[in-house]
């Protein structure tokens, strides 16, 4: 997309944000009564829905059960109406399998699976509207859902996608910014310890800029974690008020 100025001279981006500003995050926990845990998260125009079932007995092949930990099973899918062009997305195509694997890897690092041997935790995430930063929004939504399900975790898992334009890192990319050949880095972080659960980057970036980019991503993730923390506390407060009445 040539000619699209991703960062103006005054430092404003396409949607009027500054370089380090995140999009507006709105989230709601406990949206489904049937599931053990569920959450709906909007980050700008990207909307994701996450549902958690578990921990429960191993379904399907018992042989895959681990004797000392729980198995985390993730499934990522995009709704057909989620992108600008309606596309039928078959389950099990390479991109969604890869995304499911990444989610699984992220949560295996964060969830305390040693407490539930021989059991399974299912995390299902669906993108309802895709406007960039799909992976990050999924991770954030799934974190809230896992917390809603009451499964113990080491820390919040916060993710953010950052890009690098004109020597400046841009936090929380939207779709237009992602598509412009910008080097984007997706990072999933456990904020308290500063531990990176997953790092993924595409497109060319000079090695010298890597450190600044990772730093920017970590700062953005810490910002997201504050928002998520606020959402969880708000939800608990509402729930306790309800139960008191």
The stretch near another protein (CB under 8 A) out of 20-28, 132-140, 206-214, 220-228 is 206-214
Helix (H, G, I), strand (E, B) or coil at 57: strand
Phi, psi of 235 (to 5 degrees): -65, -40
Q: Which is nearer to another protein, 162 or 231 (CB)?
A: 162
Q: Which is nearer to another protein, 105 or 168 (CB)?
A: 105
Q: Which is nearer to another protein, 27 or 214 (CB)?
A: 214
Binding mask 171-190 for another protein (x = CB under 8 A): ----------x---x----x
Tokens 């990072």 sit at which residue? 187
Give the one residue of 6, 139, 141, 214 binding another protein; rule: CB under 8 A. 214
Cα distance between residue 96 and residue 218, in whole Å: 25
The stretch near another protein (CB under 8 A) out of 7-15, 25-33, 138-146, 202-210 is 202-210
**Residue 216 interacts with another protein (CB under 8 A)?**
no
> Min. distance of Cβ 195 from another protein in angstroms?
4
> Min. distance of Cβ 39 from another protein in angstroms?
22
Neighbours of 178 (CB within 10 A): 18
Kindly tell me the burial class for residue 208, based on how many C-beta atoms sit within 10 Å of its own C-beta (0-12, 13-18, 19 or more).
exposed
The stretch near another protein (CB under 8 A) out of 7-15, 122-130, 212-220, 237-245 is 212-220
Give the one residue of 207, 240, 244, 245 binding another protein; rule: CB under 8 A. 207
Helix (H, G, I), strand (E, B) or coil at 215: helix
Binding mask 104-123 for another protein (x = CB under 8 A): -x--xx--------------
Instruction: Calculate the alpha carbon distances from 225 to 1, 22, 132, 151, 153 in Å.
Output: 32, 12, 19, 18, 14
Contacts of residue 163, defined as CB under 8 A and 6 or more positions apart, other chains included, come to: 6, 169, 170, 173, 177, 178, 182, 183, 184, 185
Range 42-101, binding another protein (CB under 8 A):
94-95, 97-98, 101
Neighbours of 117 (CB within 10 A): 14
- 3-class secondary structure for 71-108? EEEEEEEECCCCCCCCCCCCCCCHHHHHHHHHHHHHHH
Q: Which is nearer to another protein, 152 or 194 (CB)?
A: 194
Q: Which is nearer to another protein, 18 or 95 (CB)?
A: 95
Give the one residue of 202, 230, 233, 239 binding another protein; rule: CB under 8 A. 202
Phi, psi of 99 (to 5 degrees): -65, -40
Residues that bind another protein (CB under 8 A): 94-95, 97-98, 101, 105, 108-109, 181, 185, 190, 193-208, 210-211, 214-215, 218
């Amino acid at each position: 997309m040539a000619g699209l100025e991703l960062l103006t001279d005054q430092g404003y981006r396409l949607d009027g944000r500054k370089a380090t500003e995140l999009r507006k995050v709105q989230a709601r926990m406990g949206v489904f009564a049937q599931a053990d845990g569920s959450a709906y998260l909007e980050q700008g125009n990207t909307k994701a829905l996450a549902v958690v079932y578990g921990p429960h007995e191993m379904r399907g092949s018992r042989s895959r059960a681990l004797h000392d930990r729980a198995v985390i099973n993730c499934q990522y899918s995009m709704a057909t109406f989620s992108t600008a062009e309606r596309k039928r997305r078959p389950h099990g195509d390479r991109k969604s399998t890869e995304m499911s694997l990444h989610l699984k890897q992220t949560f295996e690092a964060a969830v305390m699976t040693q407490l539930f041997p021989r059991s399974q935790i299912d995390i299902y995430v669906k993108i309802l509207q895709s406007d960039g930063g799909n992976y990050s929004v999924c991770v954030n939504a799934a974190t809230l859902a896992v917390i809603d399900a009451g499964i113990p975790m080491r820390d919040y898992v916060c993710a953010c996608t950052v890009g690098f334009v004109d020597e400046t890192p841009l936090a929380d990319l939207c779709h237009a910014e992602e598509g412009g050949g910008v080097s984007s880095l997706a990072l999933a972080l456990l904020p308290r310890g500063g531990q990176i659960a997953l790092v993924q980057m595409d497109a060319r970036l000079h090695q010298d800029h890597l450190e600044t980019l990772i730093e920017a991503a970590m700062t953005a993730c810490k910002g997201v974690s504050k928002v998520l923390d606020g959402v969880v506390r708000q939800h608990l407060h509402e729930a306790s008020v309800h139960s008191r009445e």
